[in-house]
């Protein structure tokens, strides 16, 4: 594909910015949580209406899968935007602040929807020369609700053959994620693991309650729980390879009711992060071993529950390099960064990347006159995303699809 097409894409994205800003602000005012985002879905359907796409409304979630079929035969490429917001108040003071109590688009998913809807417009306008198809995935429930997994289970990837019966399998999948950790329009990614797995840990230590003045007649679960917390940190630093790291954070420890009662139980809750499935399972085993060992040393019993969250998000090496390379043409080489290491946050786009080679790329949204080190981060009640970044985002989404399809055999 000659590069002038990319220049045109950026120009056209500029023209689409006012519409993208309108849509983004509308979503920002009326954010929705979880796997059912009906208002957001309606706005998405409205914005795609005139584009003549094959739209599938999912039923287990409010997900929307929209298929654009080009005039020329070829495979299918998937582009993802997530649609949900977070359960938190907004304190940005913006005039388009959330009108919904305790709900805020603090992770920029409103910008993702607006950018992907814009990209759909850019790509639909190129239908006559498009080689293959583009599947637009609008997915709710990214913030811990496994929305992508639900959409996969509902057959997202089972795209039909072309009208003449030629198969058109999905050969690539791409997602952008807005971040305040980079300046407006900067694209950052890396080949290999880009985001961590995230599992929830709940440990319950059960001893024997009694009078706080006579601990020897009880089995006090509190010091045992404290010992487990310390031992978990030793396990992580001593038994896990620093170059294939893990984070185990105990974020809550709860026990007891008053000063003169030894309680029967103590609870420890936290999160487990890893950037390889190997380390992830090694840490799970280590936590069980350590908790059981410490508890049994003190004649207490323990239960360890690990709720599996999102797997590690692993970018394909070729797909990530392809995205970064394209970004050099779209935003300029000085605005592209190859991340030295993964980010310990998690993403359910990981489920898509387990099935289709592809990549997730970050798109910076902190204005250039602000310091990214001190800017309110994603998930902050004060986070601010510069809407100008959506120009690069729309051009990137569309460019990744076009170039992917043009370089397929």
Strand partners, 302: 205
Structural contact between residues 326 and 279, judged by C-beta atoms closer than 8 angstroms:
no
Classify burial at 56, counting beta carbons within 10 Å of its beta carbon; exposed 0-12, middle 13-18, buried 19 or more: middle
* Candidate ranges 105-113, 303-311, 322-330, 354-362; the one touching Zn ion (CB under 5 A): 105-113
* Candidate ranges 102-110, 165-173, 236-244, 351-359; the one touching Zn ion (CB under 5 A): 102-110
Binding mask 187-226 for Zn ion (x = CB under 5 A): ----------------------------------------
Cα gap 110→27, rounded to integer Å:
6
In the complex, minimum distance from the CB of residue 233 to Zn ion, in angstroms, rounded to a whole number: 26
What is the three-class DSSP state of 47?
helix
Q: Is 363 a binder of Zn ion (CB under 5 A)?
A: no
How far, rounded to the nearest angstrom, does the alpha carbon of residue 275 sit from its chain's CA centroid?
Answer: 14
In the complex, minimum distance from the CB of residue 86 to Zn ion, in angstroms, rounded to a whole number: 7
Structural contact between residues 139 and 148, judged by C-beta atoms closer than 8 angstroms:
yes
In the complex, minimum distance from the CB of residue 64 to Zn ion, in angstroms, rounded to a whole number: 18
Cα gap 17→85, rounded to integer Å:
22
Cα–Cα nearest to 274, from 340, 376, 179, 346: 346
Nearer to Zn ion, 53 or 107 (CB): 107
Nearer to Zn ion, 30 or 362 (CB): 362
Q: Based on the residue annotation, tell me whether 96 is a catalytic residue of this protein.
A: no
Binding mask 106-135 for Zn ion (x = CB under 5 A): -x----------------------------
Number of CB atoms found within 10 A of residue 164's CB: 6
Q: Which of 174, 310, 351, 397 is catalytic?
A: 310
In the complex, minimum distance from the CB of residue 110 to Zn ion, in angstroms, rounded to a whole number: 11
Which residue shows structure tokens 């797997």?
A: 311
Q: Based on the residue annotation, tell me whether 310 is a catalytic residue of this protein.
A: yes
Strand partners, 178: 363
Nearer to Zn ion, 68 or 175 (CB): 175
With CB under 5 A as the rule, give the number of residues binding Zn ion.
1
Q: What is the 3-state secondary structure (H, E, C) of 287-318?
A: HHHHHHHHHHHCCCEEEEEEECCCCCEEECHH
Nearer to Zn ion, 143 or 264 (CB): 143
What is the three-class DSSP state of 110?
helix
- Residue closest to Zn ion, measured at CB: 107
Q: Is 20 a binder of Zn ion (CB under 5 A)?
A: no
Contact set for Zn ion, span 41-100 (CB under 5 A): none
In the complex, minimum distance from the CB of residue 347 to Zn ion, in angstroms, rounded to a whole number: 7
Q: Which of 12, 264, 387, 397 is catalytic?
A: 387
> Which residues here bind Zn ion, judged by CB under 5 A?
107
Catalytic residue numbers read: 310, 387
């Amino acid at each position: 594909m000659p590069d002038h097409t990319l220049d045109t894409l950026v120009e056209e994205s500029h023209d689409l910015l006012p519409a993208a800003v309108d849509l983004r602000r509308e979503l920002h005012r009326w954010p929705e949580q979880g796997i059912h985002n009906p208002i957001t879905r309606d706005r998405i359907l409205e914005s795609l209406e005139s584009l003549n796409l094959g739209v599938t409304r999912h039923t287990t979630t409010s997900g929307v899968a929209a298929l654009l079929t080009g005039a020329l035969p070829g495979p299918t490429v998937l582009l993802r935007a997530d649609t949900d917001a977070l359960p938190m108040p907004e304190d940005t003071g913006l005039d388009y602040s959330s009108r919904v109590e305790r709900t805020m688009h603090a992770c920029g998913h409103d910008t993702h929807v607006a950018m992907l809807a814009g990209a759909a417009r850019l790509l639909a306008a190129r239908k006559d020369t498009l080689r293959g198809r583009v599947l637009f995935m609008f997915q709710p429930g990214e913030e811990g609700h496994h929305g992508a997994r639900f959409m996969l289970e509902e057959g997202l990837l089972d795209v039909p053959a072309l009208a003449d019966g030629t198969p058109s399998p999905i050969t690539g999948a791409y997602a952008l994620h807005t971040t305040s950790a980079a300046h407006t329009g900067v694209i950052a990614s890396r080949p290999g693991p880009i985001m961590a797995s995230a599992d929830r840990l709940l440990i319950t230590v059960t001893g024997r309650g009694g009078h706080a003045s006579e601990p020897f007649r009880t089995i006090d679960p509190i010091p045992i729980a404290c010992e487990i917390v310390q031992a978990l940190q030793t396990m992580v630093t001593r038994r896990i390879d620093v170059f294939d790291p893990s984070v185990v954070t105990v974020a809550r420890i709860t026990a007891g009711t008053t000063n003169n009662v030894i309680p029967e139980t103590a609870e420890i809750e936290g999160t487990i992060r890893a950037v390889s499935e190997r380390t992830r399972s090694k840490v799970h085993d280590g936590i069980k071993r350590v908790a059981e060992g410490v508890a049994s040393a003190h004649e207490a019993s323990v239960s360890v529950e690990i709720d599996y969250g999102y797997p590690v998000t692993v970018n394909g090496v070729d797909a990530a390099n392809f995205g970064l390379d394209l970004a050099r043409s779209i935003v300029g080489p000085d605005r592209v960064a190859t991340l030295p290491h993964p980010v310990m946050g998690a993403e359910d786009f990981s489920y898509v990347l387990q099935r289709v080679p592809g990549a997730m790329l970050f798109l910076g949204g902190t204005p250039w006159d602000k310091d990214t080190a001190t800017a309110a981060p994603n998930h902050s009640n004060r986070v601010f995303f510069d809407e100008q970044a959506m120009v690069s985002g729309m051009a990137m989404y569309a460019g990744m699809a076009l170039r992917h399809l043009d370089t397929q055999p």
